[in-house]
Amino acid sequence: MDAVAGLKLTVGSLTVLAHERLSIVGVVAYLCLQDTGAQPLVNEDGSLALAVNGEIYNHRILRKGLKTKYNFKTHSDCEVIIPLYMEHGLDAPKHLDGMFSWVLYDQKQDRVVAARDPIGITSFYLGRSSSTPGAVYFASELKSLHPVCDNIIAFPPGHIYDSKADTLTRYFEPKWWDPTNVPTVPVDYKVIRHSLEKAVRKRLMAEVPYGVLLSGGLDSSLVASIAQRETLRMQDAARAVSQSQAVSSELVGIDDSNELSTVTTFQQLHSFSIGLPGAPDTEAALEVANFLGTKHHAFTFTIQDGLDALSDVIYHLETYDVTTIRASTPMYLLSRKIKAMGVKMVLSGEGSDEIFGGYLYFHAAPNREEFHKETVRRVKNLHLADCLRANKSTSAWGLEARVPFLDKEFLETAMGVDPKDKMITEGHIEKYALRKAFDTTDEPDVATYLPDKILWRQKEQFSDGVGYSWIDGLKDQAEQQVTDEMMKNPKPEWGNDVPDTKEAYWYRTMFDEHFPPYCAGTVERWTPTWSKQTDPSGRAIATHNDKYKNVE
């Protein structure tokens, strides 16, 4: 894994690939001095050079399926991109199962190719400069580009760039991409369950200590439950094979029988939560951890801790979206604590609410067509919201977040379900289909995944669940920082993107301290659907208040 990649390239008289590596796969080989996995990765004659940030879960299958023998120089899962390009050209990313952003230079053709994973789990930007026409720059972070570029866009997920034509082309075209093509396939709960289990299994590909972010909500709890089952299963398998045999014979990764082969033994699964003292999520997370048997670490933070971190959070997030900042700040504080413990990779539950319509405003969906259209819109925009949060809040501290719900195969399964089976109707709360998939009440031979109290717990947005006074504290501080006069006179350079609350105004001014105005084009602010609410908090929706009116 190369989680902290700085990919920068200029097309023209000079091509430069720069990179910083966080080793998740290929670590043991490095320790054994077999290879380093250092980048750029190059082919045998040095004519192809690759800088990549990502994880390729099916790299073992891809290596085995190559038509032409390729002399791999490393154990890095990402090196397989080079022979894939040699065989498939611009279709190479279609074969990849994972999260990635990469730039490849083909010296023989004087050609640059860049690609981003289907959903945009890893961050990626494309920039140009009016002072150097013809030059194109790529980077994992906005801050790497704005000193030299005055035109920057978020590299669109599921696309590939080709310098020969100087164009971006979408390579990811799943059945669900067109929102007017409303699925009619009835939900199959066991298929959903097995598909998510497989997605989690893939993401346990690691040679370093790992854990799971556990808020106590449905999504993170399911991921933790599956990860714990898989960890225990693999512990049993590891006992049957000596470590020396594993090191000499296996590459880490999923094989074509859907088994995970690894070079390490699996330690007890660690789980992590954070919240203000007495936060709703903290108690729920501890209950889940005790039920599953994970080694749980419950951290707390204060409102002042969060306020003190805000400017740094916005600098690392590279956004001024209110929802993203609210939720990212606790995640940012938690990531620092996790990395200090020596953990390099965590599983997280992003994506489920977009796929299954889990946000409370989905109660207002008028019909199945509109429900499906909104889920498609939300999934397509994840790279500007929750994926951005998960990736940047963690990578700021050299930690990597993996998101099983956004697995390509799982998306095809879950987004292919008739939306009427996802809708929130009488007797069906948010994400009913997902909850029912892991309800084994009628399956006596299947061990319980989660306590009913957790499996059927109503949605709490992370920024609410860490403690209701967190958002209240942010609003109070914004009142002190932004006057009514300031609200009446927004900056001219903001154009039509004018903040509509003092909190949003405050975040935008902090963003402006770090980034020039043209960087705002890479940001998308949360906007409600089927609702007039301007506050993105789940508590702003009547459904939440009806359910939790005695909690606050």
Residues annotated in a binding site for ATP: 213, 274, 348-349
Residues flagged as binding site: 77, 213, 274, 348-349
Residues 378 and 356: their CA atoms lie apart, in Å, by 10
495 backbone dihedrals φ, ψ, rounded to 5°? 60, -130
Please spell the DSSP secondary structure of 370-423, one letter per residue: HHHHHHHHHHHTGGGTHHHHHHHHHHTTT-EEE-GGG-HHHHHHHTTB-GGGTS
Residues flagged as binding site for L-glutamine: 77
Strand order in 167-170's β-sheet? 41-42, 48-56, 98-106, 111-116, 159-162, 167-170
Type of residue at 169:
T
Determine contact, residues 332/393, Cβ cutoff 8 Å.
yes
Determine contact, residues 541/530, Cβ cutoff 8 Å.
no
Strand order in 137-139's β-sheet? 137-139, 125-128, 151-154
The distance of Cα 354 from the centroid of its chain, to the nearest Å, equals 13
Strand order in 400-402's β-sheet? 295-300, 270-275, 210-213, 345-347, 400-402
Residues 234 and 332: their CA atoms lie apart, in Å, by 30
Please spell the DSSP secondary structure of 352-366, one letter per residue: HHHHHT-SGGGGG--
Burial bucket for residue 157 (CB in 10 Å: 0-12, 13-18, 19+): buried
